[in-house]
Structures are given as structure tokens and as C-alpha cells.
């Protein structure tokens, strides 16, 4: 950090462990093949049909904060998949993710005049920070009674992958394991490790495509500014959250973040970034960004 600004070091390499990198590479509606391959390996199914769904959850009351999930898709016409990448995993993170997941279930189960019980609802956590020993590589959560003999909701499941343990197991001699989890392992590999991975699995188009995309992103100055902005905002949230806990400054937190988002949006507008893209990387609506584009102070930046 220099004067409150994060400076990207020469050897920094941003991986898909970061939300913004994951979303940019895998949540591309024009190029869904990478995401389809990743989900196919996670769910262990063949994906024939695939549809991106709205990742912004409906606001239900005044004052409720904007809620955007990492990924929400419809697979094979009857499976709703909600996925979150957790760069750091805490009980608060998991609680938030499942709160969003059940919100999605609530909005998708009501069809016509009855409840839709035919669709499947799958929540996936790709969790870093769980540690290599305490948790299994993959945990599956279902609704069962205390003895585990009765499963009440057979169409709702949660999967959590211990990404630390998966990365650690990559250095074992278990080739079957490596082949099974290669697409998860690659998510947090630097450039050198990706070269080794692509050499090991020559001809794997998914690994080659991901390697190309993530290297291209890391070489993009504009993308680096988005990533460092994300980190600055996270630092700001953490600082303001701590202040809020001590002094109850909830209103101040909201105002501070909004001002930061507006400042960043003005810079992106000046660079010619489309409004819908700016909305994706800030908490501003497209209407708010459109209003900023007409503001004289924004035009002066141009």
C-alpha cells in the first residue's frame, strides 16, 4: 500500500481465487465452455443445456443492501446451480452464501399456483482458508434427520470443496485424484504452475483456454485497475466495518462506499467502459451511472 493505494508488484499474479477474476473468465455468456467444463467436473454430470440467470437478488425492503452472487445458472432445464468462490472462509461467509441460496430457491419454486418440486437446487462453495486437515476434500450437505435415515428434501443439496486440501493433494502420488480435480486445482495456480499443468495434460482444451485467459487478464493494465479497486474497496469495508462496530457508524459506511463507487465509476466512464460493465464492478445501478455520465465533473475528466 502507498498512500492508501495498492500497487501491483511485478511478480503478482491474480488467480481465479479472487471473485473478480473468476467472474470475468467463467461468467462470460458469450463463451460459456469453460464454465460448463468446470461445472461438469464438479457435479459429475453431462451438461446438455445451459443458461445464465440473473445474479442480483431482489431487494425486498428499503435500506436492504444490494446482493449479488458469484454465479447462478440453470443446467439441463431442471437444475439450478448457485456457486460462490470464498477467498477466505468464515462462518459469516457460509451463512451469507446459504442465505442467498435459499433466497434463490424461494424465487424459483413458486410456479403458477403451486410449488415446483421437480427441479434440483445445488449450492457450491469453493472455499479457501478451511485448512488442510480439519475438513474433508468434499462435503455434501442434505436435509436428513438426526440418524441420517430419512432425507426430507431430496432435491436440495450443498457441496463444499476444501480448496486448500485439494491444492495440497495435488503434490501426492494419486494420479486418479489429480485427474479428477485438475480444473479446481488450476483456479489458484500461478503462471509457472499453469505451464506445468498444461504440460502434464497436453491437449486438454479447458486447461489451455483457462491459462490463456488468466494470463491475458494479468497482462491487462485496465483489468489490474479493476482488481486493485476491488481490494481497495475490501480494505475500506473492513476498516469501516470495524469503525461501525465500535461507534455504530452504519450510515457513514454506506456513504463512504457510495462515494468510492462514484469516483471509480467516473474514471471508467472517462475510459469509455460501457455502463453495464461498470454496474458489474460497482454497487451502482445503471441509472445511477447514466446520471454520473451526464454530470459536468465526469465530463471534465474526459
Confidence at residue 79, expressed as pLDDT on a 0 to 100 scale: 94
The answer to which of 2-6, 65-69, 85-89, 113-117 has the lowest mean pLDDT is: 2-6
The yes-or-no verdict on residue 245 having pLDDT over 80 is no
Question: Among candidates 184, 139, 146, which has minimal Cα distance to 166?
Answer: 184
Confidence at residue 76, expressed as pLDDT on a 0 to 100 scale: 94
Cα–Cα distance measured from residue 180 to residue 171, given in angstroms and rounded to the nearest whole number: 14
Give mean pLDDT, residues 175-194.
95
CB 13 within 8 Å of CB 218:
yes
Rg (CA), the chain: 21
CB 106 within 8 Å of CB 142:
no
- Distance between first and last Cα of the chain: 27
The yes-or-no verdict on residue 257 having pLDDT over 60 is no
Give mean pLDDT, residues 240-244.
52
174 C-beta neighbours (distance < 10 Å), count: 12
Q: pTM for this structure?
A: 0.70
Q: Tell me: the pLDDT tens digits for 41-96?
A: 999 999 999 999 876 644 443 343 445 667 889 999 999 999 999 988 888 889 88
Confidence at residue 256, expressed as pLDDT on a 0 to 100 scale: 52
| Angle value at C-alpha 73, between 78 and 217, nearest 5 degrees | 155
Cα–Cα distance measured from residue 203 to residue 199, given in angstroms and rounded to the nearest whole number: 9
Q: Tell me: the pLDDT tens digits for 53-65?
A: 876 644 443 343 4
How high does pLDDT run on average in the chain?
Answer: 79
Beta bridge partners, 160, equal 125, 139
Most confidently modeled range among 21-35, 50-64, 88-102, 234-248: 21-35
Give the confidence band of 19 by pLDDT, cuts at 50, 70, 90. Answer: confident
The yes-or-no verdict on residue 159 having pLDDT over 80 is yes
Q: What letters, b where the CB count within 10 A reaches 16 and e where it falls short, cover 126-163?
A: bbbebeeeebebeeeeeeeeeeeeeeeeebbbbbbbbb
Confidence at residue 259, expressed as pLDDT on a 0 to 100 scale: 72
All cell numbers assigned to 93: 461467509
Q: Tell me: the pLDDT tens digits for 188-232?
A: 999 999 999 999 999 999 999 999 999 998 988 777 666 665 555
User: CA distances (Å), 277 to each of 47, 108, 163, in order?
Assistant: 28, 26, 29
Percent of the chain past pLDDT 90, that is, above it, reads 37
Confidence at residue 62, expressed as pLDDT on a 0 to 100 scale: 38
Confidence at residue 177, expressed as pLDDT on a 0 to 100 scale: 93
Cα–Cα distance measured from residue 176 to residue 138, given in angstroms and rounded to the nearest whole number: 16
Confidence at residue 65, expressed as pLDDT on a 0 to 100 scale: 44
Confidence at residue 243, expressed as pLDDT on a 0 to 100 scale: 52
More confident residue, 195 or 245: 195
The answer to which of 10-14, 72-76, 153-157 has the lowest mean pLDDT is: 10-14
250-270 vs 286-294: helix crossing angle, rounded to 10: 60
Amino acid at each position: 500500500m502507498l498512500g492508501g493505494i495498492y500497487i501491483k508488484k511485478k511478480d503478482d499474479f491474480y488467480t481465479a481465487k479472487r471473485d473478480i477474476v473468476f467472474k470475468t473468465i467463467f461468467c462470460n455468456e458469450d463463451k460459456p465452455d469453460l464454465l460448463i467444463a468446470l461445472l461438469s467436473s464438479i457435479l459429475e454430470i453431462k451438461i446438455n443445456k445451459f443458461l445464465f440467470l440473473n445474479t442480483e437478488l431482489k431487494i425486498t425492503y428499503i435500506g436492504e443492501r444490494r446482493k449479488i452472487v458469484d454465479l447462478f445458472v440453470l443446467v439441463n432445464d431442471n437444475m439450478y446451480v448457485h456457486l460462490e468462490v470464498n477467498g477466505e472462509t468464515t462462518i459469516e461467509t457460509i451463512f451469507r452464501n446459504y442465505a442467498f441460496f435459499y433466497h434463490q430457491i424461494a424465487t424459483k419454486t413458486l410456479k403458477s399456483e403451486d410449488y415446483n418440486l421437480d427441479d434440483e437446487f445445488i449450492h457450491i462453495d469453493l472455499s479457501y482458508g478451511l485448512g488442510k486437515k480439519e475438513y474433508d476434500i468434499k462435503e455434501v450437505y442434505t436435509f436428513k434427520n438426526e440418524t441420517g435415515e430419512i432425507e426430507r428434501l431430496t432435491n436440495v443439496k450443498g457441496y463444499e470443496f476444501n480448496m486448500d486440501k485439494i491444492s495440497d493433494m495435488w503434490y501426492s502420488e494419486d494420479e486418479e485424484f489429480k485427474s479428477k480435480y485438475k480444473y479446481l486445482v488450476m483456479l489458484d495456480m500461478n503462471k509457472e504452475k499453469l505451464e506445468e499443468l498444461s504440460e502434464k495434460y497436453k491437449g486438454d482444451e479447458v486447461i489451455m483456454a483457462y491459462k490463456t485467459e488468466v494470463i491475458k487478464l494479468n497482462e491487462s493494465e485496465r483489468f489490474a485497475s479493476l482488481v486493485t479497486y476491488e481490494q481497495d474497496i475490501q480494505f475500506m469495508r473492513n476498516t469501516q466495518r470495524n469503525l461501525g462496530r465500535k461507534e455504530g457508524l452504519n450510515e457513514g459506511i454506506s456513504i463512504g462506499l457510495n462515494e468510492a463507487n462514484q469516483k471509480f465509476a467516473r474514471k471508467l466512464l472517462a475510459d469509455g467502459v460501457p455502463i453495464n460493465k461498470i454496474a458489474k464492478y460497482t454497487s451502482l445501478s445503471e441509472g445511477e451511472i447514466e446520471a454520473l455520465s451526464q454530470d459536468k465533473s465526469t465530463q471534465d475528466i474526459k
